Amino acid sequence: MRSRITEETALFASVAKWLFLSTIIGLIVGFGVSLFLKVIEYFIDHRSDLPFHYYFLLPFALLASVYLVKRFAPDAEGHGTEKVIQAIHEKNGKIDVLVIPVKVLATVITIAAGGSVGKEGPSAQIGAGVASVFASFLKFSDEDRKAIVICGISAGFAAVFGTPIAGAVFGVEVLVVGSILYSVLLPSFIAGFASYLISQTMGTPYVEFHIEFFPRYGINELLFIKVVVAGVLFGLISDLTITFIHGIGKTIKKHLDMGFVEKTIIGGLFLVGLALLFGEQYLGLGMQQISNSINNPTGGGVHWYDFLLKILFTGLSLGFGGSGGVITPLFFIGSTSGNAIGAMLDGNLQFFAAIGLVSVIAGAANTPIAAAIMALELFGIQTAHYAAISAIIAYLITGHRSIYPSQILAFKKSQFLEVSTGKDIEHARVVGTQSATLNKLRERWQKKKGLKHKDSDSESTKRD
């Protein structure tokens, strides 16, 4: 009895501790992210005041972004969340305080000029950076520092997308592929709700989705089959997105042997040319096209190739030094490709666009649980159970790849593959193919069959 009282007292103290700490982190991060979003909104709203196309500023914006990062905070390079994951796994959550202002400024410059990046990466770095500074100030242990930084990630995502539960789960799911950090689940939920509360209080605007078509309750067999097919296609699109975005970045570094000034100017001019050729809807956040994909029953000017052009614009924006996240572009890629798949499979453009939005995130970021919960928060229960099926299939079809190479791979996605686990996903390798695994199964079967024949022969000998 005494040991039970001791155990419950310790557990209560732990819950009280993390309720207090995660609430503080959530409120601070929610305030910081809300300010960041308001600044972005201000510059986007005033781009029309310029006497020329705003994206003509892209070469100078990319140059300014790269200079700020190289000069003041190299850890702010890239799309944000990747660096946070890396800091948790390799530095026990220690993040340079300069990352916060540098990342915010570089991202505002990039998005305002039309760089095809997202707003969630900097939000995650704001959350993680604030939490890291908070942990250093209070002299937390390495274990507590990592936990509080994960809370910061969850709070950042909850505030930026208005999805407190999905944001919390994303923070504990994105670090390790195939595992959820249950020890940080409660603090992440509290931080996510606190962050979302303060962002609502500050009037942060969120896109609302209205789907006119809803499947009836229960399982529609034909629709279920179509959703499965769509999930496979979304997985392939996720794989394509990962391959191109990482590949274009490596190609630019390897083959453009010149200083960053010349490189960013060339990249910016190339993006300007693409915008003049294909249109400016692929620049910036692309929220209007995301809204058109889901809210408009007829697609609202969405083309079947939009997701391919968004992959191109995003890969080039990041590859040439733009600062920002990748989840918002994944929203665009998923919803517009879902619109095209819906037209091909069923005619229900809105339904498949909504499913696509969360499925591509599940596949590219290896976060199927967070994606399924996001579907529930954004689109409601009528769509969420179908979206969950598609998201999990997309997650499996994408394979052992990720838009975040620093994720740790905890398990293999198929019994027919031999994969090196326990490493970051960039260095994890498929060491055995399906045929090798089937050969092993065949050998075992033949061995068992041989033993049965041997036993039957011995039984016959005994009878004789």
pLDDT reported for residue 227: 95
159 with 52, same domain? yes
**Residue 422: pLDDT band by 50, 70, 90 thresholds?**
confident
User: Are 144 and 14 spatial neighbours (Cβ–Cβ below 8 Å)?
Assistant: no
- Cα–Cα distance, 282 to 271 (Å, whole number): 10
263 with 386, same domain? yes
Average pLDDT over residues 346-356: 91
pLDDT reported for residue 80: 73
Helical (H) or strand (E) element with 446: helix 434-463
Q: What is the dihedral of CA 153, 159, 161, 165, to 10 degrees?
A: 70
> Is the pLDDT higher at 139 or at 283?
283
**Residue 216: pLDDT band by 50, 70, 90 thresholds?**
low
The one-letter code for the residue type at 318 is L
Residue 217 has pLDDT above 60, yes or no: no
43 with 123, same domain? yes
Which of 372, 398, 424 terminates a domain? The answer is: 398
pLDDT reported for residue 219: 67
| Cα dist from 51 to 21, 57, 153, 302, 312, whole Å | 48, 12, 39, 28, 27
Q: Is residue 33 part of a domain?
A: yes
Q: Using one digit for the tens of pLDDT, what is the confidence trace for 56-87? A: 999 999 999 999 998 888 877 777 788 888 88
182 with 312, same domain? no
Helix, strand, or coil here: 413? coil
Which of 141, 167, 201 terminates a domain? The answer is: 201
- What is the residue range of 80's domain? 2-201
Give me the number of domains the chain comprises: 2
Helical (H) or strand (E) element with 256: none
Per the prediction, the chain carries an average pLDDT of 87
**Residue 206: pLDDT band by 50, 70, 90 thresholds?**
confident
179 with 289, same domain? no
Residue 293 has pLDDT above 70, yes or no: yes
User: Are 321 and 265 spatial neighbours (Cβ–Cβ below 8 Å)?
Assistant: no
Q: Using one digit for the tens of pLDDT, what is the confidence trace for 375-395? A: 999 998 888 889 999 999 999
Q: Which CATH number fits the domain that encloses residue 314?
A: 1.10.3080.10
From 375, 393, 396, select the one nearest 384 (Cα to Cα): 375
Average pLDDT over residues 156-176: 91
Using only C-alpha atoms, what is the Rg of the chain?
24
